[in-house]
Every structure is written in structure tokens, then in C-alpha cells.
Structure 1
Amino acid sequence: MEDRSPGGVPVELVLGGGSLINQVGRDLRTAVEGMLAPYGVTSQQAALLMRAARGESSPNRLASHLGTDTAGMTRLLDRLEAKGLVGRRRNPGDRRSIVVELTEEGRALVPRLAPVFGRASVRLLAGFSEEEVRGLAGMLRRMLENLHAAPGPDAEGQASGTPR
């Protein structure tokens, strides 16, 4: 009898699907990084610049949107500041914190960045119908919800039905 996940799907299929999702993410990031290389920024730096252009100035909020921690955000801001794309200044409402601001050069770069992500997405989803894209987006949202949900009783790092 084959092992099954809590949803009744064969564990081998679940693990293979997870591996494919990981590979798609890696390959998509590689493609985006290559497309952003002429602009001298990484995908994470570009995402920060675009969020800052929309008014997000708190390093803590930026960090959560970008999936990094405080140390990672500091390094990211250091690199962008060295490139002349952002500046940091004291928050006038709370002198213990800083705000991130785009420089003139950073503001000029932002309009070139968003289309890169769009081209990568179009390339990724080439040949899919609108219905397929809607279905995929719905499934990916459910996956994110599953990951962000509180862990269940079987939170020891293994799916139910797998050998311990």
C-alpha cells in the first residue's frame, strides 16, 4: 500500500510537485536576475525600489514584504545606498527609526524595473489559457495559505502517512 498525504494524494506525487515548484521558483529568479542585470540590480533590490516608489518607507515593513530579516534588510539598503539609489534618514515621527527614500537616480530607474517582472511572467505562462492561469493562481494562493496556517498536530516536519 502506498503512503498518502493527509489529503489522500500519494506522497511521491506531493513531494514531486513540491520539487517542481521549487525548481520553477529558482529558474524564474535566475531569468529575472538575468533580465535585471543591465540595470545593475537584483530582483530583491528591484522589488525594494518599486515598493519604496509606492510610498513604503519603513525598513521593517519592506523586510516583511521582501522575505528578509533585519540583517538582510540592512545589507540590502547598504548596497542600494552605495549604488546611489536610496537614502536613509531619521524618521521625524520616531527618532529611533529610519525611513527609506529613493534618490533621484532611484526614482528614474523604477519605471524600467516593473516591465522586467511582467516580461518574466509572460514568458513563464506562455501557452497557458486564461482559465489555466486563474486556476494556477488560485492553487498557489491556497498553497501560501497552507504554509501560513498554524501547524497541525503533525508538525514534526513530516507529512502524515510518511514513515517516521
Structure 2
Amino acid sequence: MENATALRTASLLHDCARKLTRSLDRQLAPLEVTAQQAALLINLANGATSPKRLAVALGTDTAGTTRLIDRLEAKNLLRRHRGTTDRRAVVLELTDTGRRLTPSLVPAFGATAADLFGTLADADIRQMGDLLARALTNAEPPHTDGSANG
């Protein structure tokens, strides 16, 4: 692999991610949520109710997820409570306001993706998705099972 090609592609990928986030934030501004807050609400509506699961889904750490939860709780879009079977566990749920808002968040993601991919053919978009999935797999640290080899 040519280093200059890899660096150019990584830079373009980073630029696309920033553009995607900025565009989403602009589209979601009238709803008074950011792209990351909207993603958390959508994942919560789809059944991920623990902060740890949401952190994984959003690709953030627990401290970042806690800040998002604090902001969304202050906006009365979600609430947290202790688990019924494990009092140490924190369980999140949408408030009525959050439940009403969440369906209007999803179209912003679709519109932003449509803008980003614009004139690309579906086959090109699919191939790009497949290549990015492989790249993400490459970027994951190797999983070890705890046993020593050698």
C-alpha cells in the first residue's frame, strides 16, 4: 500500500466525517439536539437502555456518554433510574417528550446521507460501505483470549 494514498484517503474520510456531523448538527438545530444527542436518543428508542451499551453504539467513552445523558436529562428527553434486578445498574428511558421527538430525528440522518452521497450510484455506495467496514475491522485491536501462545 502506498503511504501517500493511504494518508490522502484517511484525510478524505476524516473530512467526510466532519462534514457529515456539521450537516447533521445544522439539520437538527431546530430540534435543539446535536447529532450525537440524536444518535443516543435513537439508540435508546431502539432498545439500548444502558449507558455502557450506548457508549459502544456511539463509539464514545463512558465519560462522554455520561455528559450526553446529563444534557438530555436536563432537556427532559430521557430519565435514568436504578435497575430493578441490580440496584447498581443505571437504566435509561425516554420521557414522553423524548418519545415524541425521536421519530423526527431519523429523517435528518437520511437527508444528510443523501446529500453526502449525492450523485454516487447505489453500487458505489454499497462498495464504499463494504470497504469502510473492512477498514474499521482492521483498525480494531486484536482480541486475545488470555492464553499465551508460544
- Fold shared per TM-score above 0.5: yes
Which runs of 5 or more structure 1 residues have no equivalent in the other structure? 1-8, 152-164
Query: CA–CA distance in 1 between the matches of 2:126 and 2:47?
Result: 29
Residue 102 in structure 1 maps to residue 94 in structure 2:
yes
1:150 Cα offset (Å): 2.0
Query: CA–CA distance in 1 between the matches of 2:115 and 2:62?
Result: 33
What whole-Å deviation, never above 9, does each CA across 1:2-40 have from its counterpart, x for those lacking one?
xxxxxxx22111111111111111111111111110100
The structure showing larger relative contact order (alpha-carbon pairs under 8 Å, at least 6 residues apart) is 1
Which runs of 5 or more structure 2 residues have no equivalent in the other structure? 144-150
Residue 2 (structure 2) aligns with: 10
Give 3-state SS (helix, strand or coil) of 1:100's partner: strand
1:64 Cα offset (Å): 1.1
Give the letter aligned to residue 128 of structure 2: L
1:93 Cα offset (Å): 1.1
What whole-Å deviation, never above 9, does each CA across 1:18-72 have from its counterpart, x for those lacking one?
1111111111111111111010001111011111111211111111111122211
- Structure with higher Rg: it is 1
Aligned residues: 143
What whole-Å deviation, never above 9, does each CA across 1:124-157 have from its counterpart, x for those lacking one?
1111112111111111111111111529xxxxxx
Residue 46 in structure 1 maps to residue 38 in structure 2:
yes
Among candidates 120, 125, 130, match of residue 117 of structure 2: 125
What whole-Å deviation, never above 9, does each CA across 1:76-133 have from its counterpart, x for those lacking one?
1110000000000110010011100000000000010001000001111111112111
Query: CA–CA distance in 2 between the matches of 1:48 and 1:21?
Result: 23
Over the matched positions of the two proteins, sequence identity in percent amounts to 44
Which is helix-richer, 1 or 2? Answer: 2
Residue 145 in structure 1 maps to residue 123 in structure 2:
no
Give 3-state SS (helix, strand or coil) of 1:94's partner: coil
Residue 112 in structure 1 maps to residue 104 in structure 2:
yes
Residue 88 in structure 1 maps to residue 80 in structure 2:
yes
Query: CA–CA distance in 2 between the matches of 1:58 and 1:115?
Result: 25
Residue 155 (structure 1) aligns with: none
Give 3-state SS (helix, strand or coil) of 2:64's partner: helix
